[in-house]
Amino acid sequence: CQHLFCLPSGPSSVPKPVLKWGRASDRDPPVKAKQQRRVAGSCDQEASVELVGDGEGVGSAQLEEVNNLLANDDQELIGDFSKPHLLPTVDGKDPGLKYISPGTLEAVLTGHFSSFIESSIVVDCRYPYEYEGGHVKGAVNLPLQRDVEEFLLKQPIVSLDASKRVIIIFHCEFSVERGPKMCRFLRERDRSCHEYPQLHYPELYVLKGGYREFFFQFPSCCEPRDYRPMEHPAFKEELRKFRGQSR
């Protein structure tokens, strides 16, 4: 995929069907392209369409093409195309990722979305000395790819309530490199574990502006209430070590 949150489109040997939304006056019942929902990464998307063709039976390849077309019509669905994104998003550097504002993260932390979210995990991708110098309350420090695999994929976090969501929010100091890169890594590894488009974590976000911006806007949501930059002069050796491990 060129964009991790977008369904890839490509050449197909199957002629594209003509889609017509079903109406009450249609004589023939619509053909339903259904994907059943499962907790922890599956589909809940259902669409009814009528295939206008030569009157013969609809093959599985045609139904797959229909699903692809329907998914491409709505780029705001979460990664498994089961529902729209819950959190309001803002424009960010990478158009393939979903960014949220510091205010939205603060709303998540203070319970404004508790009716819809069972578990929200804030992943701090900064190096440990940055995290120890001040971090979002409740955030987990996962600076390396192996840390993300161990924490999120070895025993995936599953919603016990089918009506609620598990969301992951990534950030680093500015959310320009490390946070977005780790978000893309999780989606790629998650995809490799499933039959497309199923996912353990279909709803991923990146905190725009990173910890720096969040701290300046909501210092009371940080502990300790401080901000230690990556290039702090007292931690040059730690920076060199972790940069080496990240390569």
Tokens (6 digits) for 125: 């991708």
Alpha helices in 1-149 (DSSP H): 60-72, 102-109, 128-132, 145-148
How distant, in Å, are the alpha carbons of 4, 143, 174 from that of 213?
Answer: 25, 19, 7
169: tokens are 């929010």
Catalytic-labelled residue, pool 43, 125, 172, 221: 172
Q: Are strands 46-52 and 31-34 parallel, antiparallel or unpaired?
A: antiparallel
Question: Does the active-site annotation cover 43?
Answer: no
21: left (phi over 0), alpha (psi -120 to 50) or beta: beta
Report DSSP state, residue 228. Answer: -
Which residues carry out catalysis? 172
